Amino acid sequence: MSTQGSKRRAVIVGGMRTPFAKAFTELKELDTIALGAAATSALLRKLELPHKEIDSVVWGGVVLPPLSVNIGREIVLDLGLPTSIEAMTVTRACASGLQAITTAASAIERGDADVVIAGGSDSTSNAPITFPTKVTRTLAPLALSGKATPQDIFGALAQLVPLSEVLPRQPRVAERTTGEVMGESAERMAQRNEISRQAQDELALRSHQRAARAIATGVFDDEVAKIETPNGFVHVDTLVRADTSLDKLSRLKPVFAKAGTITAGNATALTDGAAAVVLMSEEKARALGYTPLAALRSWSYVAVDPADQLLIGPAIAVPRALAKAGYELSDIDVIDMHEAFAAQVLSVLKMLDSQAFAEERLGRSKPVGAVDIDKMNIYGGSVAIGHPFAATGARMATTMAYELARSNKSTALLGICAAGGLGAAAVLERV
Amino acid sequence: MTDVLLELGKNPLARKLVASAKLPIPMPQGLVRLQGARTERFLEGKNVLVSGVSPLTDVLSRSLSRAGATSHVDSAALAQAFVPAAEAYGRPTKLLIPDEAAEAEPAHALILDTSSFASPEDLKQLYTFINKYLPRLSRNGRIVLLGREPEEASTLGEGAARQALDGFTRSLAKELGGKGTTANLVYIASDAKERLPAVLRFLLSPASAFVTAQPFHVSARAGWNDEDPWHQPLQNRVALVTGAARGIGEATARTLAAEGALVVCLDRPEDDEPLSQVTREIGGKAILCDVSDPTAGAYIASELHKLHGGVDIVVHNAGVTRDRTLARMPERSWDQVLGINLAALIKITDALLAEGTLRDQGRIISLASISGIAGNTGQTNYAASKAGVIGFTRYLANQVAKRGITVNAVAPGFIETRMTAAVPVVVREAGRRLSALGQGGQPEDVARAITFFAEPGSAGVTGQVLRVCGGALLGA
């Protein structure tokens, strides 16, 4: 809900993230808890926040560690923070990071908390390999009873044929209800919304160029922490390619359909990373001597049928969040739109600017508006920087909060699509 | 009673053998029917070929795109008119290329909008469009003609051309029935185009599998609150179904429940067992009562008030046959049939209206019969009662239109029920084959038609009798 009309306002005081790295590379030794702990401790060090002031941790996760799903609490314990800091973990697919932030903001607005750490992390490198249910049901009783004879074991093993039914399944980013891999959904969206390969490659190129420039000019210095791993330090995002070109991108082969348009170059890669922000009530922030970076003005979560256009949600969430904030798109100074796939972002942008979509799907007489490319993803987006699922929302909120604090811009818009047909949007404003 | 020919026809090899041996055996095409509730994008992945630009185009294009169809249009002007809907739903429209007609991917439906027809010369477009693209139409396909009401014509030529559509559609339905394809005609009053989507959804979906060669009239006669949910349209609506223990009544209760309705099932006290079975399975309520009892109306009204505070949908399905030629008919048979099939229906309706039980935007659907239209030996009593139901429907529709209540009737042709299973084999075979689709219908087919009338979006259709007969020759 919007903060309008309520007295307490939730503000972002600071944000920090790990560098983002391609799965199974630099950060592979750190699981999602370790990544979350790294981002959180770096943030606390930067803010010099007295630990006793922290009320709670709200953490987002998508690929959850099976034996300790409450990542937030594990971070508190691993960092040796006061054990009295309560914690929870939220999951809303790729919008989990934003969900953690808005859940924290709600608690602050309600007066339930004054200081909350919110963020998210994911380590695809440490995704648990799951066995099919048949294997679990057959072997678990043996493993757990502790009294199995060799005959029992062989009897159980005999049930595990054919082999194809019992081998671990490769984890896939697939919809449970439709069985469709997300890239296939995005490919269909490209076709249905008539998004060309070239437009996708151009968006990808811009994402890389802008991210590379942001890194080179130190824009991320405030936001990205140097992380220590067993194999050494990682201090910069590893997926960004300063040297890519339209020519290079256009030579990549489509991945999800023979005559398709989606390539490894215009889609996000599986990524490891974490991001965290500290939210406070405005009064508490000032009382502790902090200058708030930005305030949470409004947010909106929506859903569409995943069998239709899986990732179109932001086209509906954005106007709702804007309406709650009392803004039009033209009132927004800077936009961070999660780039799951270039095709998906371009589909969303096309619908935001469509008169027909506005009338038919939003019940508005006018389109939401054309997004000015010069205002959107000015420091690159997920295609270039990477997308550790639950970290993305907190990464975007961090970048936008610092942008509002250091520039003369006063409003920022976030848009995120997520599995299950979910869409999310939020509006930040300068304090 | 199993339809042996229909079962045989489902076997491709048998079909081939019969065809190659030129055996004089009809091979009816098995019909594709809806399973469970209707889905919003029921045309997902299907191609629909469209011709004719008119003020209806925006409603048509929105309906098709929202339903998930890929529209193929035969003119640049039509393609242009389809753009907004195509864009809003991400369903790019394709322009038909005449030469590739035969080889291109199959089409689920052909839709011809004849609104602009002004003279008999324009009828040539019926020939041109359908003759050209018929080869692309798949089995169980749909042909839908959209037209303006002949009564609204402003010239002689216009009036004649509009009426000509009727004969054309009926003939085409007969020609295509063997492929399980249906052809229907929708006349739309000039002020009623926003009420077209519900009719289109019915005709283009498997819900209308057994409805063919029928004209529909869409008008703004009944009041309407613009409500037209595509998904679970009957959610929170209370429906009363009389004679719900078995047959068409049972199928109707199940279908209404599948589309979200709270169903109150009514049948005679001696049918307590089958009725409670149905009620349990669909999570509905039961009323045990003999509809011909003089106090039935007041009792049903008070029960509905107690159960749900009123009712939105009333399905008058309870009915009996007592067949005998008039010369040999006992008086009791006459009295029973007229009493249950007609007098009771009027008394119950009166009570529901008088007590304010039937709410605004209500729906009344009664079971008529082909007998009531065409007559049938041994059914003077039954045919009189069913023709009376048609009179009831037409009269009442005018009375309650202001309140947004629609009144319609469904006239089943040969439906595979306990009743038709009992008739002699020769009569049964004739009943099945003497129709465009060459087979009997299922109780579900009638239930789907009733459910169509029950939808909030069906406000454009009132005072009508819809034949669910597979294009039966009888009385057509």
How far apart, in whole angstroms, are the C-alpha atoms of residue A351 and residue A188?
15
Inside any domain, residue A355: yes
In the predicted structure, residue A207 carries a pLDDT above the cut 70: yes
Could you tell me which chain B residue has the CA closest to the CA of A188? B90
Whether residue A360 and residue B83 make contact (CB cut-off 8 A), yes or no, is no
What is the structure's pLDDT at A261?
97
What is the structure's pLDDT at B285?
97
What is the structure's pLDDT at A260?
95
Q: Measured between CB atoms, does B85 come within 8 Å of chain A? A: yes
Average pLDDT over residues B298-317: 97
Q: For residue B84, which residues of chain A lie inside 8 Å, CB to CB?
A: 355-356, 359-360
Q: How far B118 CA sits from the closest chain A CA (Å)?
A: 31
ipTM: 0.82
Q: Measured between CB atoms, does A357 come within 8 Å of chain B? A: yes
| Coil/strand/helix, residue A384 | helix
In the predicted structure, residue A170 carries a pLDDT above the cut 60: no
In the predicted structure, residue A168 carries a pLDDT above the cut 70: no
Q: Across all residues in chain A, what is the average pLDDT?
A: 93
Q: How far B229 CA sits from the closest chain A CA (Å)?
A: 14
Average pLDDT over residues B138-164: 96
How far apart, in whole angstroms, are the C-alpha atoms of residue A340 and residue A423?
12
What is the structure's pLDDT at B20?
75
Q: For residue B89, which residues of chain A lie inside 8 Å, CB to CB?
A: 360-361
Nearest to B87 among A191, A307, A357 (CB): A357
In the predicted structure, residue B102 carries a pLDDT above the cut 60: no
What is the structure's pLDDT at B21?
73
- pLDDT, tens digit (0-9, with 9 covering 90-100), for B232-259: 999 999 999 999 999 999 999 999 999 9
Residue from A192, A196, A312, A362 whose CB has the most chain B CBs within 10 Å, to mutate: A192
Q: Measured between CB atoms, does B41 come within 8 Å of chain A? A: yes
Q: For residue A354, which residues of chain B lie inside 8 Å, CB to CB?
A: 87-88
pLDDT more than 70, % of chain B:
98
Which architecture does CATH list for B238-468?
3-Layer(aba) Sandwich (3.40)
The class that CATH gives domain B39-218 is: alpha beta
Average pLDDT over residues A207-226: 97
The secondary element (H helix, E strand) that includes residue A29 is none
Distances (CA, A) of B116 to B18, B85, B148, B149: 44, 21, 8, 12
Is pLDDT larger for residue B5 or for residue B294?
A: B294
Whether residue B84 and residue A193 make contact (CB cut-off 8 A), yes or no, is no
How far apart, in whole angstroms, are the C-alpha atoms of residue B356 and residue B353?
5
In the predicted structure, residue A160 carries a pLDDT above the cut 70: no
What is the structure's pLDDT at B306?
97
Backbone angles phi, psi at B418, to 5 degrees: -55, -35
Comparing CA positions, the residue from B149, B150, B144, B162 lying closest to residue B192 is B149
Q: Do the beta carbons of residue B304 and residue B238 sit within 8 Å?
A: yes
Could you tell me which chain B residue has the CA closest to the CA of A309? B90
Whether residue B87 and residue A356 make contact (CB cut-off 8 A), yes or no, is yes
Annotated catalytic residue: which of B89, B187, B299, B382? B382
Q: How far A276 CA sits from the closest chain B CA (Å)?
A: 36
Q: For residue A350, which residues of chain B lie inside 8 Å, CB to CB?
A: 87
Inside any domain, residue A225: no
Helix, strand, coil percent values for chain B (each to nearest 5): 45, 20, 35
- pLDDT, tens digit (0-9, with 9 covering 90-100), for B443-466: 999 999 999 999 999 999 999 999
Nearest to A193 among B41, B66, B90 (CB): B90
Q: For residue B62, which residues of chain A lie inside 8 Å, CB to CB?
A: 360
Encoded tokens for A16: 């920090």
Q: For residue B43, which residues of chain A lie inside 8 Å, CB to CB?
A: none
Q: Measured between CB atoms, does B231 come within 8 Å of chain A? A: no
Annotated catalytic residue: which of A51, A94, A208, A338? A94
At residue A2 the predicted structure's pLDDT band, cuts being 50, 70 and 90, is very low
Q: For residue B68, which residues of chain A lie inside 8 Å, CB to CB?
A: 308
A-to-B residue pairs, Cβ atoms closer than 8 angstroms: 38
What is the structure's pLDDT at A1?
43
Whether residue B90 and residue A305 make contact (CB cut-off 8 A), yes or no, is no
pTM score: 0.89
- Scanning A173-192 for CB atoms below 8 A from B yields 189, 191-192
Q: How far A192 CA sits from the closest chain B CA (Å)?
A: 5
Comparing CA positions, the residue from B248, B246, B278 lying closest to residue B263 is B278
Residue from B89, B230, B231 whose CB has the most chain A CBs within 10 Å, to mutate: B89
Average pLDDT over residues A280-300: 98
Domain, as residue range, for A393: 10-127+267-430
What is the structure's pLDDT at B15?
73
Inside any domain, residue A4: no
CATH number for A337? 3.40.47.10
Could you tell me which chain A residue has the CA closest to the CA of B83? A356
User: Is B382 a known active-site residue?
Assistant: yes
| Coil/strand/helix, residue A109 | helix
∠ CA B391-B393-B395, nearest 5°, is 70
- Beta-carbon contacts of residue A51 (< 8 Å; ≥ 6 apart): A44, A81, A82, A85
In the predicted structure, residue A342 carries a pLDDT above the cut 90: yes
Q: Measured between CB atoms, does B42 come within 8 Å of chain A? A: no
Torsion of CA A376, A378, A383, A385, to 10 degrees: -140
- The domain total for chain A is 1
Average pLDDT over residues B356-363: 97
Could you tell me which chain A residue has the CA closest to the CA of B91? A192
Average pLDDT over residues A175-199: 94
Q: Across all residues in chain B, what is the average pLDDT?
A: 94
- Scanning A304-323 for CB atoms below 8 A from B yields 305, 307-309, 312
Q: For residue A312, which residues of chain B lie inside 8 Å, CB to CB?
A: 90
Residues forming CATH 3.40.50.720 domain(s) in chain B: 39-218, 238-468
User: Is A338 a known active-site residue?
Assistant: no
Whether residue A357 and residue B88 make contact (CB cut-off 8 A), yes or no, is yes
Q: Measured between CB atoms, does B68 come within 8 Å of chain A? A: yes
In the predicted structure, residue B101 carries a pLDDT above the cut 60: no
Q: How far A174 CA sits from the closest chain B CA (Å)?
A: 20
Inside any domain, residue A245: no
Comparing CA positions, the residue from A53, A315, A273, A310 lying closest to residue A181 is A310
| Range from A308-317, B14-23, B227-236 carrying the lowest mean pLDDT | B14-23
At residue A220 the predicted structure's pLDDT band, cuts being 50, 70 and 90, is very high
In the predicted structure, residue A5 carries a pLDDT above the cut 90: no
Strands across the sheet containing B70-73 = B94-95, B70-73, B47-51, B107-113, B137-148, B182-188, B215-218
Is pLDDT larger for residue A171 or for residue B115?
A: B115
What is the structure's pLDDT at A162?
65
Encoded tokens for B393: 């429907």
- pLDDT, tens digit (0-9, with 9 covering 90-100), for B193-245: 999 999 999 999 999 999 999 999 999 999 999 999 999 999 999 999 999 99
| Range from A147-151, A214-218, A303-307, B469-473 carrying the lowest mean pLDDT | A147-151
The secondary element (H helix, E strand) that includes residue B239 is strand B238-242
At residue A164 the predicted structure's pLDDT band, cuts being 50, 70 and 90, is low
Whether residue B85 and residue A360 make contact (CB cut-off 8 A), yes or no, is yes
Could you tell me which chain A residue has the CA closest to the CA of B44? A308
Q: Measured between CB atoms, does A355 come within 8 Å of chain B? A: yes
Whether residue B91 and residue A192 make contact (CB cut-off 8 A), yes or no, is yes
In the predicted structure, residue A213 carries a pLDDT above the cut 70: yes
How far apart, in whole angstroms, are the C-alpha atoms of residue B370 and residue B372?
5
Encoded tokens for A233: 């330090």
